[in-house]
A and B are shown apart, each in its own frame.
Chain A
Amino acid sequence: MNLTRRKLLAVGAGTAAFASFAAMPTFASVADDAMAEFTGGAAVQDGGLELTAPEIAENGNTVPVGVEAAGAVEIAVFATGNPTPKVATFKFGPLNPTQSASTRMRLAKTQDVVAIAKMADGTFRKTSSTVKVTIGGCGG
Chain B
Amino acid sequence: MLSAWNNIKLRNAVLQILYVGGFVALIVTLIVMGRTNLQEQGIISGFDFLWKATGWEVSFSLIEFTSRDPYWLVLVVGLLNTLFLGVIGLVLATVIGVIIGMARTSANDLARLLGATYVEIFRNIPLIVQVFFWYAVVTRFPGPRQAINVGDSLFLSSRGLYAPGLNITGLSAFLGIVAFLTGLGVIVWVSSAQQFRRMEPARKSRLRWLILLVAFVVTTVIFWIGRLPDTTLVSMPALKGLNFRGGIRVSTELSAMAISIAIYGGAYIAEIVRGGFKSVGRGQIEAAQSVGLTNWQVFSRIRFPLALRAMLPILANQYVWLIKATTMGIAIGFTDFFMVVSTAINQSGQTLELLGILMGGFLIINFTLAAVLNRINRAIALKGDQLRT
A, B co-complexed: no
Interface residues of chain A, those whose CB is within 8 Å of chain B, are: none
Interface residues of chain B, those whose CB is within 8 Å of chain A, are: none
